[in-house]
Structure 1
């Protein structure tokens, strides 16, 4: 199929081209600037060039997001613009990349992702919503940002199940070729770990001498992560562990 990847220059979007092409698809990567081989221009925040970017697309992997900016404009309104610009006579599968726990974790960005899911479910398009867990390198970034000199504070009791971004890309390439699920499926890493376990593993490789300090996080957000809201309840699993990622 002719597959358009939104967020084509992002952490995941960049990794999608190879497995999609290996599966026999023609791939175009959409971004605001349309840079790189196979790059096409399209702006979810404004709708600029969306119709031309989507022209001819038989499948879309919707991986664009704006967690650091205004996700309600890009993730929610942008998804609505995408739905309006799709050629419904050609569209065979729209795969949306979401996050495990968006329906259970009271966090603003997650609420926006959940709202974008509802836009797609109401669109009448052939959709599959793939909720994935946090990427290994995203966990690295969070821990590196949290470290304060020799001290590495982490939330007490938080549970996560990080996954390799390359395995997510390969899985999404498989999902594209399957019949649309018409709802939510999940994909996570091979093992559930506490934030403290992740921090100790990371510090042992990336910041020797750092002291992990476990800190209680009050409120509904902390309770959700402690109760396992960020852990997948079903679906397929990756194989590469966080420890293997750190050693790799």
Structure 2
């Protein structure tokens, strides 16, 4: 890469850092802008910040497309769908169906998930490595920490282990299938949570079956 092009890339990376910092403020701003539905406000703020990043530092779409190995993208999608179920089983919780959201809500969920992945799985590590000269592992740790901090206002500290689990999944999907894999996993996960929620009541363990009797068909 020649010096001029390197300078342009570095400048673009540095320019995105304030936008990433701005995005960290979006959850707090969402509560102020729309106290009754901060999630909706946050989604639109995220989409706006992601759009600004796209304008200031357009991604290398050819490279992103080349990284999207479709079997890995499909696997990432399935993993995003499976994670809430696996965690519910591990915690002995039940997932119960929510009322079906409007299509506009589901579309916004997908675009917001794509925006978060663009910001924190693609842009943040690149900006920290190229713009600030951080080692790759440090940049990834910092980007993941930013992603976790982003979700504390909306979900609280108690949900942080689960958010860390999702961050691990999305990062793995990114490393396996690029931005497309991360977006697929994130969007699938969030769409599932739009249609299912966790029942706070724990599953009751199946009572022991007295000798000489058969369990109910529902327990088979």
Q: TM-score, normalised by structure 2?
A: 0.28
Specify the structure having the higher radius of gyration (Cα). Answer: 2
Q: Which structure's residues are more often strand, by fraction?
A: 1
Q: Structure with the greater relative contact order (CA < 8 A, sep ≥ 6): 1 or 2? A: 2
